[in-house]
Amino acid sequence: MAWIDKQRNVIDFTLSSLLRRKGKNAALIIVYTAVVFVLASVMLFTHALKREADIILREAPEIVLQRMVAGRHDLMPVSYATVVSHITGVGEVRPRLWGYYYDPLFRANYTLLVPDDFRYGEGDIAIGEGVARAGVTSEGNIMPFFGSDGKLVSYRVKEILPSESELISSDLIMMGEADFRTLFSIPQDRVTDLAVTVANPQEVLTVAAKIRKELPDTRPIVREEIVRTYDAIFDWRSGIMLVIFSGALLAFVIFAWDKASGLSAEEKREIGILKATGWETSDVILMKFWEGMAISFTSFTSGLILAYIHVFVSSAPLFEPVMKGWAVLYPEFRVVPFINFYQIATLLFLTVVPYTTATVIPSWRAATVDPDAVMRT
């Protein structure tokens, strides 16, 4: 088909034409790739984080019940669990033991947690990858802790928990109930809080109100509120990302504009020759379009691939300053690869569309120049 052959011929010329200005086009592709890289990194990273948070929260109980003493979060009597479990609408009530530990040796904060089914015995712990890194320890090693009485206690690391799926498990340490109680001197009849499940989502607020009535010295924290808190945190982080994002975008627009504002004399002469020898204005525009596409496609693909590697393979080292402070651990945290069509479409719209427009418009202007101009150069 003539149409296809025409495209093929024009593309062929476009490519050899691009190769002529290797330096200029290489610079162009590098800048373009860098912009796509930054935009794509931000986008992939924030989306992956949001998704991460969603997964964590999906598993969270509907209500977490804390005890308040003098306006402060205090230890919860285990007996409260029985009271709560008799309230209508309440499914399961699970007493939980957890807390934070500041490691003065490595100046890091850990989250300590007693799981329902701790697989190891007394004196054993399982630690998150972040902890392993911060405490420079590995499976089978001993890890020292200062107990609440100031004495040094050592635990044996039985397992390094994979942190592939969760942002938070990176700074996690799991231990048995007895060890936890000893370490922090928590009496047998006390726990940290209660996890309360409510089967019917419509009843959550009613149940929370009933709990407050029955146990006035407690504070029910509804999951929806936690979701909001998480959202706030992620929004703050995304906010910083957004600044980076718009910076990159701005640079790109300036750069594209610069491209748009002028063709070199050489390029104009060439367009004149093409027109004189029988190219139509639309053919010249077609060529410029393919030129834009070739540069865009190369830069877009490489930028996207680099961003994917940056975020999902190398744990987004460029965003580390933003992510720091989740724990003092600087979790070298690897989010689960997650990419969808919507993200790619947004990215395409933000980069390829303005660039192609910026390259086609000036050639349109040049292509309307009278072809006889080349008779006089």
Partner 1 sequence: MITLENIRKVFYQGRPNEQVAVLDASLTIEDGKVTVLKGPSGSGKTTLLSIIGCMARPTSGRIRLGEREITSLPERFLTEIRRQTFGFIFQQFNLIRGITAIENVMLPAYPNGEKYGLLKQRAKGLLDLFNISAKTNERVQFLSGGEAQRVAIARALINDPSVIIADEPTAHLDTKLSQEFMEIMDRLHREGRTIIIASHDPIVYASALVDRTVEMRDGKIVS
Binding site for partner 1 (CB under 8 A): 1-6, 8-10, 12-13, 16-17, 20-21, 266, 270, 273-281, 283, 370-372, 374-377
Four-point Cα dihedral 198, 200, 205, 210, nearest 10: -60
Residue closer to partner 1, measured from CB, 80 or 290: 290
Query: Exposed, middle or buried: residue 173 (CB in 10 Å: 0-12, 13-18, 19+)?
Result: buried
Q: Is residue 67 a contact partner of residue 73, using CB atoms and an 8 Å limit? A: yes
Q: How far is the CB of 363 from partner 1 (least distance, A)?
A: 15
Q: How far is the CB of 376 from partner 1 (least distance, A)?
A: 7
Residue closer to partner 1, measured from CB, 279 or 333: 279
Residue closer to partner 1, measured from CB, 13 or 98: 13
Residue closer to partner 1, measured from CB, 4 or 69: 4
> How far is 55 from 165, CA to CA, in rounded Å?
9
Residue closer to partner 1, measured from CB, 2 or 70: 2
Q: How far is the CB of 5 from partner 1 (least distance, A)?
A: 5
Residue closer to partner 1, measured from CB, 86 or 376: 376
> How far is 358 from 364, CA to CA, in rounded Å?
11
Contacts of residue 307, defined as CB under 8 A and 6 or more positions apart, other chains included, come to: 36, 37, 38, 39, 40, 41, 43, 44
Residue closer to partner 1, measured from CB, 12 or 54: 12
Place of tokens 């003065």: 104
Q: How far is the CB of 337 from partner 1 (least distance, A)?
A: 41
Q: How far is the CB of 350 from partner 1 (least distance, A)?
A: 32
Residue closer to partner 1, measured from CB, 182 or 281: 281
Q: How far is the CB of 23 from partner 1 (least distance, A)?
A: 12
- β-partners of residue 160 are 127
Residue closer to partner 1, measured from CB, 66 or 281: 281
Q: How far is the CB of 10 from partner 1 (least distance, A)?
A: 6
Q: How far is the CB of 7 from partner 1 (least distance, A)?
A: 8
Query: Exposed, middle or buried: residue 51 (CB in 10 Å: 0-12, 13-18, 19+)?
Result: middle
Query: Exposed, middle or buried: residue 296 (CB in 10 Å: 0-12, 13-18, 19+)?
Result: buried
Q: How far is the CB of 368 from partner 1 (least distance, A)?
A: 9
